[in-house]
Structure 1
Amino acid sequence: MISRRGLSLSLVTLAFSSISLAQSISTTIHHQYQSPRAMGMGDAFVAVANDYTAIFYNPAGLARREDGQINLSMSYAATPGAKDFYDEYKVIEDNAALSETDKQTQYLELIQRHYGDVFSVRVSPLEAAWVRPNWGVALIPLDVSVEMAMHQQVGPTLNATVYADTTLGLAYADDLKGFDHGRFSWGITGKFVNRGFFSKPISATDLAASDEIVRKEDLLEGYTIDADIGVLWTPELPDEGFWSVLRLARPTFGAVVRNVGEMGFGQSMKLVNKENTSTDRPEKLYRVYDLGSRWEYPSAWIFGGRGVLDVRDLGHPDFNWRKGIHAGLEFDWTVSSWWKGHYRFGLNGADFRMWTAGLSAELGIFNLDLVTYANDVGTRNTPIESRVYATRLNLDF
């Protein structure tokens, strides 16, 4: 006979196993958070992580902060053709003289004109972060990513993928006491993420039947609580011999395990789609492993900087070595504490076409970030570049 306790456990297991998790039809590796500074140097930031973005890139970096920072920002990123495509779509949608059949025909022609194109937009209207030595907190009320890819499948289709995230992160970090081989720091970020998600092919018939490409009511929704764990190691190198040369570069090595629990979005608070009654849940946050290194070069006059090399997203279903290698350079210049900036270059993936470049200009509490980078939206065997331009406006206190 089955005990009452055993029956209860069986019912709970059955309830959770009945929740299906939606998978993205996109082959782009979506990062739950991204920084323009990191993207400018090829998104290689694991062993740098020395500003407020350490909360999400490597929380161990907070153990090495010597002062506090409050950052308020808004950001926007898009491929150049995204607005033109949307304008073409709106011309068809707003033409009241067209029948539904005529709209289907024109949407079909629109998709065919853009075969092979991938358009993306990412908007975060407000981000807030407060970091101090050893700890930090960040709130991102809304981070929306939209990707639209034109494909010839059974028929011409628009493959749309949407992420709408609300994120709260709490981080703590410290140095490992008694470590005799340099400086070893560790950190952990606990994350609450509420996600709205859509990832499906849309036909010309679907476009004609709706007044929007993707409606809020189409989004699956769920929330999860998870954690990232990171470490940084700066080895103590000898003053003499071969190792003394490396000592000048002050190498630092980092590693992060992201989404340790990989729990999935099992429950819904209906923050995005209040009418959603589906038991399907968004694509989960995958457990992945990032490894990184940082090499400083000597400062000269008002200039300094570093080189970085990372391997990211080990363990992700869409990982391959072409997408996983990230490298970059960052050059600092400082005129005074209130007037400084950075130039950056990098490779976002082991493909020389996927170059990145960025700059930051800081004047008092105002900071402007500009960056261009390329997402690899191709399959495992076929690289496809999708060039993105982004900006972030910051207030730093």
Structure 2
Amino acid sequence: MRLTKYARVSLCVFVVLLLATSAWAESYRSFHKGVRPLGMGGAFTAVANDQNAIDYNPAGLSRTEGVGLGILNPMVAASEDSYDLYNDFDDIDQNDTAEVAELLSKYVGDNFHVKVAADIYAGFRVGGAGVMVAGVGRGVADMAIRNPTYPELYITSDVDYGGQVGVGYELPMVPGLSLGVGVKALNRESIDEVYTAVDIADDDFEDTLKDDQKDGSDASFDLGMIWSREVEGVTRVSLGLAGINIREMDFGEARDQESQYNAGVAFEQTFFGFTLTEALDYHDITDNLAEDDSTEKKLHMGAELTFPMILAVRGGLSQGYYTAGATVDLTLIRFDVATYGEEMGVYSGQKENRRYVAQVSMGWSW
């Protein structure tokens, strides 16, 4: 079956990831958000005890036991109306400027988000240290439609590929204190452009997208700390600090990735084979990720209940919006889902962009 011109374009847009920015302010551009942390409201700096530690706090790698392996981990995320927009684009006459303009007008003020990732990783212990090596393959895109009189499509997208290495070590002379370091080297391909209905209806729009794509490469490092202590045998308290991209990543003509500093606290209780974890984070302490400095947008809190076998459920608040998630772990295959709200305005509660995430992981956890 021969694809129409816009079917080809829209597939290119979605696969190479070109979807979602904000109507008023761009969402916080964290390097990566894992499904489990998203279900917990993004509060993971002091929790970090699985493969997500390499992105949230490398000190958490000290908690790894045995060997962990992620052979295939496809992850897909999309905002609430992304599928409807895709279908509407595919249904119109893609060569008709008036139809394209009408469709853009229908979605003026809306924001859309798409992300895909397919990382692989191996985690193991070397002496007293936890080590993780990962291959990175991620793409995220944001799109917004603005200007009711003459609708314009604002597209920003980043496609990253490369590698990461992280090491976490618990200091024997200071019980409960773990330090970690991570190093990443990445290539990035970005688009940050505005398109009119005339541009989109043009026969050469695919070529325009390719011409507007900028690329570059860079390396950076992360540092982390977690201090944990048992309190009267009732709960385990952990304090965490993490600096992500401490050297801001300069990708040349592609979009840069700013430094981010986060702090968090977590509490963990175990009873009858269940584990309950509560966590609170404050992200972007130095205001690097966005132009606004809204305190509410930086607050993340959540909880996780892990059952004796197979199941874990999560809930929380992120930027003032509810989050929820769950894991079904069948040892060699794991299913993770989550939903969360991203604030697109300049303060919490102004404009929510509801998103849904799913991941299937083949391998085994620590």
TM-score of the superposed pair, with normalisation by structure 1: 0.79
Cα 1:62/1:117, change in 2 over 3 Å: same
Name the structure 1 match of 2:9: none
Identical pairs, percent: 27
Name the structure 1 match of 2:360: 393
Name the structure 2 match of 1:5: none
Name the structure 2 match of 1:62: 61
Deviations 1:326-381 (A, max 9, x none): 0001000023xxxx2210001111x2xx1110100011311001111111122358
Deviations 1:299-342 (A, max 9, x none): 2x24221000001122324152121100001000023xxxx221
Aligned to 1:251, the other structure's residue is in SS state: strand
Does 380-389 or 53-62 show the bigger shift? 380-389
Aligned to 2:283, the other structure's residue is in SS state: strand
CA contact (8 A) 1:174 1:185 kept: yes
Cα 1:213/1:317, change in 2 over 3 Å: farther
Once the 2 structures are TM-superposed, how far is the Cα of residue 236 of structure 1 from its aligned partner?
A: 6.0
CA contact (8 A) 1:93 1:211 kept: no
Once the 2 structures are TM-superposed, how far is the Cα of residue 196 of structure 1 from its aligned partner?
A: 0.8
Aligned to 2:49, the other structure's residue is in SS state: coil
Q: How many residues align?
A: 333
Give distance in 2, aligned partners of 1:317 and 1:54.
Answer: 20
Name the structure 2 match of 1:119: 112
Once the 2 structures are TM-superposed, how far is the Cα of residue 177 of structure 1 from its aligned partner?
A: 3.5
CA contact (8 A) 1:71 1:128 kept: yes
Name the structure 2 match of 1:16: none
1:2-21 superposed matches below 5 A: none
Aligned to 1:106, the other structure's residue is in SS state: helix
Aligned to 2:307, the other structure's residue is in SS state: strand
Whichever residue aligns with residue 146 of structure 2, its letter is H
Deviating runs (4+, > 6 A) in structure 1?
none
Q: Is 1:137 matched up with 2:133?
A: yes
Q: Is 1:325 matched up with 2:299?
A: yes
Give distance in 1, aligned partners of 2:208 and 2:278.
Answer: 41
Name the structure 1 match of 2:197: 204
CA contact (8 A) 1:183 1:236 kept: no
Give distance in 2, aligned partners of 1:382 and 1:345.
Answer: 18
Give distance in 2, aligned partners of 1:330 and 1:317.
Answer: 27
Aligned to 2:80, the other structure's residue is in SS state: coil
Give distance in 2, aligned partners of 1:234 and 1:164.
Answer: 36
Cα 1:365/1:76, change in 2 over 3 Å: same
CA RMSD of aligned residues (A): 2.1
Aligned to 2:258, the other structure's residue is in SS state: coil
Deviations 1:234-279 (A, max 9, x none): 1465xxxxxx4xx52211010101111114114xxxxxxxxxxxxx
Name the structure 1 match of 2:155: 160
Aligned to 1:313, the other structure's residue is in SS state: coil
Aligned to 1:250, the other structure's residue is in SS state: strand
Once the 2 structures are TM-superposed, how far is the Cα of residue 104 of structure 1 from its aligned partner?
A: 2.1
Give distance in 2, aligned partners of 1:366 and 1:235.
Answer: 32
Whichever residue aligns with residue 255 of structure 2, its letter is E
Deviations 1:157-201 (A, max 9, x none): 11111111113101112122422xx41100000001111111222
Name the structure 1 match of 2:326: 359
Whichever residue aligns with residue 304 of structure 2, its letter is E
1:49-198 superposed matches below 5 A: 49-72=48-71, 73-94=73-94, 103-124=96-117, 126-133=118-125, 134-140=130-136, 142-152=137-147, 155-179=150-174, 182-198=175-191
Cα 1:187/1:38, change in 2 over 3 Å: same
Name the structure 2 match of 1:345: 315
CA contact (8 A) 1:62 1:132 kept: no
Name the structure 1 match of 2:268: 296
Whichever residue aligns with residue 111 of structure 1, its letter is L
Give distance in 2, aligned partners of 1:395 and 1:220.
Answer: 33
Give distance in 2, aligned partners of 1:213 and 1:388.
Answer: 30
Name stretches of at least 5 consecutive residues in structure 2 with no aligned partner: 1-20
Cα 1:214/1:89, change in 2 over 3 Å: farther
Once the 2 structures are TM-superposed, how far is the Cα of residue 67 of structure 1 from its aligned partner?
A: 1.5
Give distance in 2, aligned partners of 1:203 and 1:66.
Answer: 53
Whichever residue aligns with residue 166 of structure 1, its letter is Y
Once the 2 structures are TM-superposed, how far is the Cα of residue 29 of structure 1 from its aligned partner?
A: 1.0
Aligned to 2:250, the other structure's residue is in SS state: coil
Q: Is 1:260 matched up with 2:259?
A: no
Aligned to 1:286, the other structure's residue is in SS state: coil
Give distance in 1, aligned partners of 2:323 and 2:331.
Answer: 27
Name stretches of at least 5 consecutive residues in structure 1 with no aligned partner: 1-23, 238-243, 267-280
Give distance in 2, aligned partners of 1:82 and 1:365.
Answer: 31
CA contact (8 A) 2:338 2:358 kept: yes
